Structure 1
Amino acid sequence: MEDYEAVLLVKHEVFVFKIPPRSSNRGFRAADWNLASPDWTGRMRLVAKGAECVLKLEDKSSGELFAKCPVDQYPGIAIEAVSDSSRYFVLRIQDDSGRAAFIGIGFSDRSDSFDLNVALQDHFKWVKQSKEMEKERTTEEAKPRLDLSFKDGETIKINMKIGVNLPCFLRYGEGSSKPKPKAMGGLPPPPGGVRLQGPPTTSRLTHEGAEEVTKSGSESQQQDIWGDFASAGPTATSSAPPKPSANNWVQF
């Protein structure tokens, strides 16, 4: 896939100066230039295509290329800051035949030079990270890969801890039901408890017969319930209390 050209920075006003040769190893000084009379004024664009980065000086109106500066690294010899100002730089420009020359550029606002610094640093930081990622990918591809596929007849065993919140068919197997709780054994019925008899069961009941059986069962239950209390009342064979004798009265 062919890389596309990305515009990293645009500054609509940049000043270009002819500069004298470097006089010492201390670097270039903007004070040695004729800053009051720039030799050319135009637009600056910083573009990148993949890892390549080029600073272009273009005409403001027509966009015609005035000079270009290929940047292979930053900081480096392609773009070098001067020693006495943060707003001026020295560019190594090149033509298509490979001839090179050094010129000075500058900005009227200090923030413009700051933006150029940041754009160049971000680009080459990205280039460095891309190279490291490519190197790691190549190293990983060179390593032998583990064959984790199953061989013929090979099986695995999985131990699963079944939780209590799972459905019954998962805990006890499909088609099984939840085990019934064990009945309480060895305990006598509570004293004085009343045992109720249920209605008689039969294999075949008609609609009317079912009503008679249910009715008779209800009457039988009522008789059984009140049976214990009926014995406590007076009966027909019980003797009446003795009447007071007349001899017990005292006469005045």
Structure 2
Amino acid sequence: MSTSARKLSPVSFWLLVTATVLLTVVSAKVPIAAAESVDSFQIGATNRPSQDAVDVSSYQGSMNQGDFNKLPQRGVKSVIVKLTEGSSYTNPAAIKQMKYAANAGLNVNIYHYATFSTSGQASSEAKNLLSVLQNNGINKNIRIFADMESQSTYTVDIQSYLNKFWQTLSNSGYKNHGVYTSGTYQYRSAVINTVGQSKTWMAYYPYHPSSSNLLYSSYGAWQFSQSAKLSGYSGSLDVSHDYQGLFTGGAGSQPFTY
């Protein structure tokens, strides 16, 4: 032990020990949460949870019909397309992506990224979504997910506001609802209560998702990776394991009424 170490007071010594222990804990490998990256793999890998569904947004806007055609060849059954966000944004690639998925024979679902924190905002966001649904002749049987992950929605009244969002959609005939959330969302139970566990799509990314370790099986579906790869496409894809037919109980491969 050095001379400087021998001169430490008892209090300073224990502070040094505590800091060393904390540094060791932080440096250790821990399960990776939804915000972190996970190891990548090719869609169709059989040693991973089955890749029943992929979800896409404007980030996958460069995917073409050929890319979508590859998905069912590799075991994918469903696609969830981001349609809207907040009270004014529409994914510019959404309608094209829905058509590509339908042409490939995939079940098509959509999601709205929620940002509301008041009843009025919930109504406004639902009306934004409705305008896109109605203007594009989207099938009223389609499954609509509310993506509940933004911290802007952190409020003790979020269950009431999400129910307002659902009611606004239901009043116009869009009654097939589901929730996307994660274990880190502060009001997870509240938003799940609006639809039930069987209609909840839960996100959690273990570093090495395995077919022998399926998680969140009491929920409708589990999104287990954001790093899946598709041959011929340079980007990454989110993939999910569908436990209860959550992504197949809707409009099927007929997302449009025309």
TM-score of the aligned structures, taking structure 2 as reference length: 0.18
Q: Which has the higher helix share?
A: 2
Name which one, 1 or 2, has greater alpha-carbon Rg: 1
Asked which structure has the greater RCO (Cα within 8 Å, sep 6+), the reply is 2
